[in-house]
Amino acid sequence: MIISHKYKFIFLKSKKTAGTSIEISLSRYCGEDDIITPIAPEDEEIRARFGIKPQNYMDENNKKPKFFNHYGAKKIANTIGKDIWSSYYKFSFDRNPWDKVISHYYFKSGKSTSDISFDKYLNLNKFKDAYNYPIYTIKNNVVVDFLGKYENLDEDLSKVCQKIGLPFDGWLPKAKGNFRKDRQHYRTHYNKDQKELVRQYFKKEIDLLGYEF
């Protein structure tokens, strides 16, 4: 996540929505007082090429992290304070849940030392970690000023940057893009019961953003 005092925005980083790529790219424009949370070491290597690293996310009093990656809206609001929360431009992204779950499956299975079938992944409820609704809502109310779609990433991110006056050049790295080896359409992975399982669990995201299988 990023809290930029320079451009007065808060980027709430959701899961499996190119959040790391967005974070790396936008980090290039941050000022020295802005808050940038850590990402995976291999992704930090990309960011380090621009002389950028995590900053200002630690609590200096107890030397523990004060802000975390994928921090939800409620926690950010409580930590940053009412004045900044209410006055800064807040944005996040989400993605078609059926596609997002497949992406998350390959990400998790790719990091595992043993193979895991998609059916087992679902049965173990690992797919629930891809639920983004609590990141950009508080008490079932959307609290970001802009909720973009992964499917319209370039266009939506450009809109955000125009709104906050950030001179975005359109560059996004392909962070975490190597886990998914099977590039078939997500629909080919599901049977009827699996499709319905995702529909039920991600119902709030689906209803909010109008996604279909």
Q: What is the mean pLDDT of residues 133-141?
A: 98
CA dihedral 186, 189, 192, 194 (to 10 degrees): -90
89-104 pLDDT tens trace: 999 999 999 999 999 9
Query: Band of the pLDDT at 85, cuts 50, 70, 90?
Result: very high
Query: Band of the pLDDT at 181, cuts 50, 70, 90?
Result: low
Is 62 found in the same domain as 16? yes
Is 114 found in the same domain as 91? no
Is 170 found in the same domain as 79? yes
Helix and strand totals (H; E) in the chain:
10, 9
Is 199 found in the same domain as 158? no
Would you state the pLDDT for residue 188? 93
Is 168 found in the same domain as 85? yes
Indicate the SS3 state at residue 149.
Answer: strand
Q: Which residues pair with 90 in a beta bridge?
A: 10
Report the domain count for the chain: 2
Indicate the SS3 state at residue 30.
Answer: coil
Instruction: Enter the tokens of residue 139.
Output: 């008490």
Contacts of 107 (CB under 8 A, 6+ apart): 16, 176, 179, 180
Is 111 found in the same domain as 209? yes
Is 142 found in the same domain as 89? yes
Would you state the pLDDT for residue 75? 97
19-56 pLDDT tens trace: 999 999 999 999 999 999 999 999 999 999 999 999 99
169-179 pLDDT tens trace: 999 998 765 55
Contacts of 61 (CB under 8 A, 6+ apart): none
Is 45 found in the same domain as 58? yes
Of 99, 87, 74, the residue nearest 151 (C-alpha)? 99
Q: At what angle do helices 19-27 and 41-48 cross, to 10 degrees?
A: 30
Of 54-58, 113-117, 126-130, 208-212, the one with minimum mean pLDDT is: 113-117
Its domain, for residue 13, covers 1-95+136-178
Quickly list H helices, 41-152: 41-48, 73-80, 82-87, 97-111, 118-123, 133-136
Q: What is the mean pLDDT of residues 172-196?
A: 83
| Sign of the torsion angle spanned by Cα atoms 172, 176, 181, 182 | negative
195-212 pLDDT tens trace: 999 999 999 999 999 999
Is 163 found in the same domain as 58? yes
**Entry pTM:** 0.93
Would you state the pLDDT for residue 114? 58
Is 125 found in the same domain as 89? no
Is 126 found in the same domain as 43? no
Is 203 found in the same domain as 169? no
Average pLDDT, the chain: 94
